Structure 1
Amino acid sequence: MGGLWKYFEENNEIFAALVAVLAIGGGLVGSIIGAKIQANGGRDQAAAAREAAEIAAEAQRVAALWTVRQVQVAEFIRSVREVVWTSNRLVQALDPDSLTQAETARQAMGLRVAEIELVVPLSVLAKAYGTYASAVEYWELAWGKAPVVSAERALHRLVRSSDLETASAAVAAARLLLDDDASGTDLWSALAAVPGLPSEQVTLLTERRGDTGHSIARQRQEATRLLDERTTELVEAAREMLKSEDDVASAVPQQRRRWWRRATPVTPAAGGVGSA
């Protein structure tokens, strides 16, 4: 070792060249290591950026689906209530406007249930189908019974007529209408004898004498109960789907949220905790 050192002392130019080579080599190795570290850091940043983009895209997708579900289910429930309202109006006042409104409401409800078929889970869809079926039954009951109710209501108005002859004939016909033992011929004759009662209503009341106001009211009461029950089930299923009872939380999966907290540095906000 001493001889080697003596050799370098006697040959200074060789020693200087060796030192220069070592310096260059060390710098080159340092540059390579630095570049590798920088490249690794760049890949980590790129991976973090991709992960952040995926998380944001997933959160947007979930938020958009939640909004669509909420809007579509709410619109369907509103259309069911519209069917109920127009059906009730149809029974109360049978006229062209009420007929048009009831038919339009039923068609709109059919469109709404078709729309939610595409966006809600099958469990919610099953409840929606049940509500739709009950609403259609409610509508059909009103649509089918409204002419009879209207005819009976017309007869009762004539019972209260100020004209004694009209009122007397209407009372006699109304009594026969409630008499199950009365023949159809006798009932028709009594109804036809009522002044001011249209012939189509006479025929309708004679042919459908079992559809009295009381029996129709009971049928509509049962239809209302069933529709209310199924609508409540739909609302409960929809609230569960929308997690209405839960606090609002991130839509990002829990595992990815933990990774995101580790990978994202926390920078104190200006004026907040940790600021100067």
Structure 2
Amino acid sequence: MRYFEENPEIFAALVAAIAILGGLLGSIIGAKIQANGGRDQAAAAREAATIAAEAQRVAALWTVRQIQIAEFIHSARELVRLSALLYRISDDDAEAARDRRNAAYQEMSLRSAEIRLIAPKDVVSAVFATVGAAMAVSDHAQQYSPVFRARHALTDLAITGDDTSVDAARRALRALDEVSGDIFDVDEALQAVPGLSNRHISILALHSVERTSQEALRQKMDEVELVFVRVLEKLVDAARGMLKSEDDVAPTVPAQRRRWWRRAARRWGVTAASS
């Protein structure tokens, strides 16, 4: 200390040098803290962008799945509805109804193919089961609805025809209901009904060869439609699980973690709680 007292100019120079070095050191430390904070901020920003992008992807996928499943269910129900309609309409309207049914089938096939690309396996399996059940309804209608329409025409003659037509139509109905009866007797009875078209005679006679009663056909029709309803319910359950319909499905973005602030706070001795 005496040396510095005797040489004040050296002491002043030393103090100045220390001040300069301290300033440089402070600048270096500050720059390092700032750089680290900037990197942490950039990392946090990238993380937030990644989370937001994932949330958008999940929301978009949820929307696509919901729309495709809803449209598939609508097309499958429409196919079944139009198939069931074939049993009740007239022959004149049957061709237009078949065209609409075919269009519903094409729509259902398209939607099922799209769902296969975006849905989990359990939903895809339920969709394929629904397609099979809907096609069973459609195939039964395709094969047997002409028999129902011909039978309706014969029944109408048994109710509204003249005396000759009524008696002949009733005899033909009894012959058709006798599944174990003689096929030639059935054909003869049908040929004897005035007003019954050759097409209806041919359809009913051909069906009688199968020896399947009208009641058995009706039971089969009800059976395939019931299977479709049950399979569709399973699809709806699987789809609700996929879409998390019982939960809050709105995608949320977690709050950005301020890692750069916590690190800076630790460097300056500030606790996270006080921040």
Does structure 1 residue 43 correspond to structure 2 residue 39?
yes
Distance 1:249 1:109 in 2: 29
Contact 2:136–2:224 under 8 Å retained in 1: yes
Contact 1:87–1:139 under 8 Å retained in 2: yes
Distance 2:114 2:32 in 1: 55
Per-residue deviation, 1:141: 0.5
SS of 2:195's partner is coil
Per the alignment, do residues 145 and 41 of structure 1 end up closer, same or farther by CA in structure 2, a change over 3 Å counting? same
SS of 2:181's partner is coil
Distance 1:140 1:172 in 2: 31
After superposition, the C-alpha distances for 1:147-173 in whole angstroms (9 at most, x for unaligned) are: 111111111111123421222211111
The answer for the alignment partner of 1:73 in structure 2 is: 69
Distance 1:262 1:217 in 2: 70
1:10-49 aligned within 5 A: 10-49=6-45
Per-residue deviation, 1:33: 0.6
**What residue identity is the alignment partner of 1:106?**
Y
Distance 2:8 2:257 in 1: 59
Which runs of 5 or more residues in structure 2 are unaligned? 262-275
Distance 1:193 1:262 in 2: 93
The answer for the alignment partner of 1:111 in structure 2 is: 110
Per the alignment, do residues 153 and 212 of structure 1 end up closer, same or farther by CA in structure 2, a change over 3 Å counting? farther
Distance 1:147 1:236 in 2: 36
TM-score scaled by structure 1? 0.86
The answer for the alignment partner of 1:122 in structure 2 is: 121
Identity fraction in percent: 48
1:249-264 aligned within 5 A: 250=251, 257=254, 260=256, 263=259
Per the alignment, do residues 218 and 117 of structure 1 end up closer, same or farther by CA in structure 2, a change over 3 Å counting? same
Distance 1:229 1:183 in 2: 40
Which runs of 5 or more residues in structure 1 are unaligned? 266-276
**What residue identity is the alignment partner of 1:9?**
E
Contact 1:62–1:251 under 8 Å retained in 2: no
Distance 2:242 2:64 in 1: 12
SS of 2:117's partner is coil
Does structure 1 residue 225 correspond to structure 2 residue 226?
yes
Per-residue deviation, 1:218: 0.1
Per the alignment, do residues 181 and 136 of structure 1 end up closer, same or farther by CA in structure 2, a change over 3 Å counting? closer
After superposition, the C-alpha distances for 1:202-230 in whole angstroms (9 at most, x for unaligned) are: 11111112344312110011111211111
Distance 1:81 1:250 in 2: 31
The answer for the alignment partner of 1:269 in structure 2 is: none
SS of 1:194's partner is coil
Contact 1:141–1:220 under 8 Å retained in 2: yes
Q: Which has the higher contact order (CA 8 A, sep 6+)?
A: 2
The answer for the alignment partner of 1:102 in structure 2 is: 101
- Greater mean alpha carbon deviation, residues 98-107 or residues 24-33: 98-107
**What residue identity is the alignment partner of 1:246?**
D
After superposition, the C-alpha distances for 1:59-99 in whole angstroms (9 at most, x for unaligned) are: 11111111111111111111111011101111111422111
The number of residues matched between the two structures is 256
TM-score scaled by structure 2? 0.87
* Aligned-residue RMSD, C-alpha: 2.0
After superposition, the C-alpha distances for 1:127-160 in whole angstroms (9 at most, x for unaligned) are: 1111110110011001111111111111111112
SS of 1:245's partner is coil
Contact 2:65–2:119 under 8 Å retained in 1: yes
Distance 1:242 1:77 in 2: 15
Contact 1:149–1:212 under 8 Å retained in 2: no
Contact 2:72–2:108 under 8 Å retained in 1: yes
Per the alignment, do residues 156 and 144 of structure 1 end up closer, same or farther by CA in structure 2, a change over 3 Å counting? same
1:236-251 aligned within 5 A: 236-248=237-249, 250=251
Per the alignment, do residues 230 and 194 of structure 1 end up closer, same or farther by CA in structure 2, a change over 3 Å counting? same
The answer for the alignment partner of 2:265 in structure 1 is: none
Contact 1:158–1:166 under 8 Å retained in 2: yes
**What residue identity is the alignment partner of 1:205?**
L
Per-residue deviation, 1:11: 2.8
Structure 1 runs (4+) greater than 6 angstroms displaced: none
Distance 1:162 1:250 in 2: 68
After superposition, the C-alpha distances for 1:27-54 in whole angstroms (9 at most, x for unaligned) are: 1111001101101110110111011011
- Greater mean alpha carbon deviation, residues 45-54 or residues 18-27: 18-27
Contact 2:44–2:258 under 8 Å retained in 1: no
Distance 1:197 1:104 in 2: 32
